[in-house]
């Protein structure tokens, strides 16, 4: 199935809700909100960014179009809601040194390398290359307003994935969040395309894990300034990482992963980035909901809404990318043989040292 078609479907079904503080009550919102007089500012920015993206990629036929995905950081125009300062409750990488990021990358290689052609390897590689791209950009000490704090976030965020992955591998399914169970079980059953594995991992990590991470580390600096500018800056790094990740996945694991590419355009990559930015914006808003909840019961209701929302999206993604013999191949046999041939020809495929430069 065309990646672009699936992305358009996800964007139309799981769009930004009308009210910034009504995320939990709006799981299914249609793109008709773009013409609504009551549209929330975030929606306006999203609609403008999507329209601009489509217009740009449809007219860009330059040879380098695929290598340089269009980026419009629309989330930077959506202000944060004031939240009181709260110090991070996470103990991992509190100093925020780049060595923390190096340790995260080492831990990712430890988990990803032995997977070989296991379908879990797709998201493992996607996350690894994204983190290596992050390590590359923070060589600039001024890439973020507060590099050290984002390094802290990077380490905490990775821990959420590591805990879910390790628990699943150990058979402790009770300790695995529901949305991650969908992702890992689908991978174990070899029932999804490579793109499906990638998107299920992103669904779980962004829509489920990220709100809790942001809430736990704090949304506001000690001086009372919002940390959202750095949150939005991450989207630029993700745009850079996207140049490398999907081509590598299609060359290593599943040669159909890039079948949705539109020649001489970045339409598929741009649509992916729009969706990721929308999910990351939603994660920030859900973290605000957690921080602004007046009591424990209200906060637990928000937490449950996060779990429900992420799982609902994951089930929709799973349905779109199932091997079914119609919109997708009948099974994973061709993909598995392709991956086995790649590994046989590249015995050092899991060697460390990759960099986007």
pLDDT digits (tens, 9 = 90+) for 281-296: 999 999 999 999 999 9
**Quick check: 75 pLDDT over 90?**
no
Q: Is residue 352 part of a domain?
A: no
In a domain, 357, yes or no: no
The whole-angstrom separation of Cα 246 and Cα 233 is: 21
Through-space distance between the first and last CA atoms of the chain, rounded to whole angstroms: 32
pLDDT tens-digit readout, 311-352: 999 999 999 999 999 889 999 999 999 999 999 999 888 888
On whether residue 135 sits in a domain, the answer given is yes
CA distance 188 to 176: 15
Assess if residue 122 is contained within a domain: yes
- Work out the angle between the directed axes of helices 147-169 and 210-217 (0-180°, nearest 10): 130
CB under 8 Å, gap of 24 or more: what pairs does 184-187 form?
184/120, 186/119, 186/318, 187/118, 187/119, 187/120, 187/122
Check residue 149 and give its pLDDT: 97
Query: Does residue 214 fall inside a structural domain?
Result: yes
Do residues 109 and 167 lie in contact, with contact meaning Cβ atoms separated by under 8 Å? no
Indicate the SS3 state at residue 322. strand
pLDDT digits (tens, 9 = 90+) for 190-218: 999 999 999 999 999 999 999 999 999 99
In a domain, 166, yes or no: yes
Q: How many independent structural domains does the chain possess?
A: 1
In a domain, 354, yes or no: no
> Could you give the C-alpha distances from 342 to 77, 128, 185, 230, 339, in angstroms and in order?
44, 19, 24, 38, 5
- Segment 101-107 mean pLDDT: 97
**Rounded mean pLDDT of the chain?**
81
Given a cut of 80, whether residue 9 has pLDDT beyond it is no
CA distance 215 to 290: 7
Q: Do the domain assignments include residue 355?
A: no
Residue 20 has pLDDT above 70, yes or no: no
Least confident of 73-77, 188-192, 280-284: 73-77
For 29, which DSSP code? B
DSSP string for residues in 304-316: HHHHHHHHHHHHH
User: What distance in Å separates the CA atoms of residue 191 and residue 12, rounded to the nearest whole number?
Assistant: 25
State the Cα–Cα distance between residues 24 and 207, nearest whole angstrom: 12
C-alpha closest to that of 18 among 35, 37, 43, 50: 43
- Considering only CA atoms, give the Rg of the chain: 20
Domain residues for 48? 3-345
- Which whole number is the average pLDDT over 93-109? 96
Look-up of token digits 């750095």: 230
d(CA 277, CA 354): 25
């Amino acid at each position: 199935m065309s990646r672009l078609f699936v992305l358009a479907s996800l964007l139309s079904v799981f769009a930004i809700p009308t009210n910034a503080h009504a995320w939990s009550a709006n799981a299914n919102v249609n793109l008709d909100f773009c013409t609504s007089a009551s549209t929330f500012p975030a929606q306006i920015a999203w609609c403008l960014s999507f329209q601009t993206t489509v217009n740009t990629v449809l007219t860009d036929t330059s040879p380098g179009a695929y290598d340089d995905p269009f980026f419009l950081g629309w989330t930077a125009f959506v202000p944060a809601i004031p939240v009181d300062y709260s110090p991070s409750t996470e103990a991992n990488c509190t100093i925020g040194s780049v060595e923390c990021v190096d340790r995260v990358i080492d831990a990712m290689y430890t988990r990803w390398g032995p997977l070989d052609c296991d379908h879990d390897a797709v998201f493992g590689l996607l996350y690894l290359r994204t983190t290596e791209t992050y390590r590359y950009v923070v060589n600039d000490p001024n890439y973020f307003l507060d590099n050290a704090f984002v390094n802290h976030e990077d380490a905490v965020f990775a821990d959420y994935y590591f805990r879910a992955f390790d628990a699943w591998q150990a058979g402790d399914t009770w300790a695995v969040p529901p949305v991650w169970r969908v992702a890992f079980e689908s991978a174990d059953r070899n029932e999804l395309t490579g793109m499906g594995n990638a998107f299920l991992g992103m669904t779980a990590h962004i829509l489920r894990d990220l709100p809790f991470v942001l809430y736990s580390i704090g949304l506001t600096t000690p001086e009372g300034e919002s940390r959202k500018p750095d949150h939005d800056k991450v989207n630029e790094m993700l745009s850079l990482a996207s140049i490398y990740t999907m081509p590598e996945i299609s060359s290593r694991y599943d040669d159909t992963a890039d079948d949705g590419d539109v020649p001489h355009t970045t339409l598929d990559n741009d649509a992916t980035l729009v969706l990721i930015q929308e999910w990351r914006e939603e994660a920030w808003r859900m973290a605000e909901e957690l921080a602004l909840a007046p009591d424990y019961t209200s906060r637990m209701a928000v937490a449950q809404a996060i779990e429900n929302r992420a799982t609902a999206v994951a089930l929709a993604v799973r349905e779109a990318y199932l091997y079914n013999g119609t919109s997708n191949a009948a099974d994973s046999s061709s993909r598995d043989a392709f991956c086995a041939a790649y590994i046989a020809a590249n015995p050092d495929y899991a060697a460390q040292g990759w960099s986007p430069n």
